[in-house]
A and B are shown apart, each in its own frame.
Chain A
Amino acid sequence: MILSTVFEAGISIQYYVILSAILFSIGVIGVLIRKNAIVLLMCIELMLNAANLLLVAFSSYFEQSDGQVFVFFIMVVAAAEATVGLSILIMAYRNIRTVDVSLFNQLKD
């Protein structure tokens, strides 16, 4: 009963903006404070997904399909990025036997 009224009324756009801003912030904070490279990769995916959510929400708000098409582009790019990122991680792991980013400190002044 309550659920059906919520769906009929629709969820207003502000909630989507707030939710995606929260997701984005979690992603950014995760990238800044975590040390494990795999977790970093996941946090970056979270940032991309926050952008996806916002685009889909605005797309349905404006009743256009542009935003949804953009989301497909982002998904493809995210997949490509994850592929490259994981291969770089494996290559680095073979050289140094760890994925802790704070141990990658050979390059400095």
Chain B
Amino acid sequence: MEAIIILFSTGIVSLFIAMTRKPILVLLTALIGVTVTAIVMSINWYTPMQWVKYDGIETDYFTIIYGATATLFSFLFILIGYSKFSKEVYHTGDYIAILIFSLCGALCLFSFTDLFMFFIGLEILSIPMYVMAGSNKKNLLSSEAAMKYFFTGSFATGVLLFGIACVYGALGTFQLKEMSEAIAAMKNSSALLQVGMILILAGFLFKVGAVPFHFWGPDVYSGSPNVVTGFMATVVKLAAFCGFLRLFQLGFNGLDGFFVEILIAVSVLTMFVGNLSALRQTKLKRLIAYSSITHVGYALICLLVKNEHTPAYLWTYFFAYGFSIVALITVSMIVNDENDDIDRYKAFARTNPFAGFVMILALLSLAGVPPLVGFFGKYLVFSSAIEQYPVLIIIALINSGIAIYYYLKVILTAISKDDNAEKSTVSPLHAIVLSISMFGLILGGFVTFWVN
């Protein structure tokens, strides 16, 4: 709770500081605020602070792990985006503050204990992102992306709310603990509860972009500004997944029966549709979007396994995925190409050896090559489910194989020879972010072992 309040105040303060028209001051305020938030969260780990009493929020081990990860990624994205934000002196504060507000929603989703906080957190997470998707005001593609994101997002909210209302009708409470007790005490399953759970599940699949509801993903990802695409792919997805995992595990005692069959089907379809569409993409951000759909398919496996380690495995997966996206988005900011074609990255690794090296590491990590952190995420998720759902895991492995093809295609473009290629300039902030993500990609595996 303290962390959320500090983060929110940081957002407000950085809006006021933006009035000085000095972007560097806004950046410093935001970074200090985000760092203090992370420190307060880790103090909470050892000695829970009780300045503010509110039952809707409960800090546990996973809140802190997820919260620290989301904070780290937001920190990196503010650093990456600074070169772009600071060009518009009048709006620097707005961009940074909106990203921070979105992170507030993510923190609510990591720690809620009732449906009030769940719903509010989900909306605080989403509404700033609708604004950020359209932050490139003069660009038609950006406003189209914002419009699509807004309509699909608020449609999903409507479906989710109707689901919550039905669940309330069936159980008579909004507290997760009382909900799970009411379900356990129930003799016959009630139709209202089933309908409500299906609607909530549909809202969830909409928000994370799983297959029957994935159509908005690639359009929104490719139309939004690069930093926003990265933020959506990492922090928003992490928060949405964690929030719904908490809801299903703590509130609904895990999913079973009919819901498991739905989720298996969705997971398999998501992997195949994402992968097969990614094969023919010529733009990097669209490729990232389709590959993120595939990764959602893998991560959905976590929801199927009833196991106390599931949150840790899901965390590992998104931790690994996030570093790759951070590196790829930084590279796309360095190249700074309007069309975002993959051909534009020709000989990139030769002209900019360090940035190229990190880019190749990021793609290999997405593909799941062993020493890198992406391998650990995949390994933990797949190995946790292999006993219960062997066929599903075999399909997932086949899909990982298909995915290697399009990642390798980008790598080969990046290391191919081209005499006309120009060296792109790497700003110091981008170099810092690239080094951090390089360390994350190489050493992240050990961190995940330590956490697990």
Chain A: residues with CB nearer than 8 A to chain B?
17, 20, 24, 27-28, 31, 37, 40, 44, 47-48, 50-51, 54-55, 58, 61-62, 64, 66-67, 69-70, 73-74, 77, 80-81, 84-85, 87-89, 91-92, 95-96, 101, 104, 106-109
Contact = CB atoms under 8 A, between A and B. Distances in A.
A24 B222 CA distance: 32
Contacts of A81: 123, 127, 154, 157
Contacts of B192: 17
A50 B147 contact: no
17 contacts: A17-B169, A20-B165, A24-B158, A37-B151, A44-B151, A47-B159, A55-B168, A66-B174, A67-B168, A70-B164, A81-B123, A81-B154, A85-B154, A88-B146, A91-B143, A95-B143, A106-B140
A27 to B, nearest CB: 7
B147 A58 contact: no
Contacts of B173: 66
Given A54-B162, A92-B146, A107 B151 contact: no
B281 interface: yes
A106 B169 contact: no
B148 interface: yes
B141 interface: yes
Given A92-B134, A96-B143, 13 more contacts: A27-B158, A28-B158, A48-B157, A50-B162, A51-B165, A54-B162, A70-B174, A77-B120, A95-B138, A96-B140, A107-B145, A107-B148, A107-B222
Contacts of A70: 115-116, 119, 164, 168, 174
Contacts of A74: 119, 161
Contacts of A27: 158
Given A17-B169, A84-B131, A88-B130, A101 B162 contact: no
Interface of B: 115-116, 119-120, 123, 127, 130-131, 134, 137-141, 143-148, 150-151, 154-155, 157-159, 161-162, 164-166, 168-169, 172-174, 192, 218-219, 222-223, 277, 280-281, 286
Given A51-B162, A92-B144, A101-B151, A58 B168 contact: yes
Q: Determine the main DSSP class of A at the interface with B.
A: helix
Query: What 9 A-B pairs have minimum CB-CB distances, sorted nearest first?
Result: A47-B158, A51-B161, A54-B165, A107-B219, A92-B143, A58-B169, A104-B144, A51-B165, A51-B162
A86 B194 CA distance: 34
Nearest to A61: B169
A48 B143 CA distance: 24
A58 to B, nearest CB: 4
Given A48-B157, A66-B173, A69-B116, A91 B144 contact: no
Contacts of A28: 158-159
Contacts of B277: 109
Contacts of B119: 70, 73-74, 77
Contacts of B162: 20, 24, 47, 50-51, 54
Interface centre among B138, B145, B169 (most CB of A within 10 A): B169
Nearest to A54: B165
A108 B157 contact: no
Nearest to B144: A104
B147 A101 contact: yes
Contact of B150 (A24, A85, A106): A85
Given A70-B116, A85-B154, A95-B143, A104 B148 contact: yes
Nearest to B167: A58
B224 to A, nearest CB: 10
A64 B134 CA distance: 41
A11 to B, nearest CB: 15
A50 B157 CA distance: 12
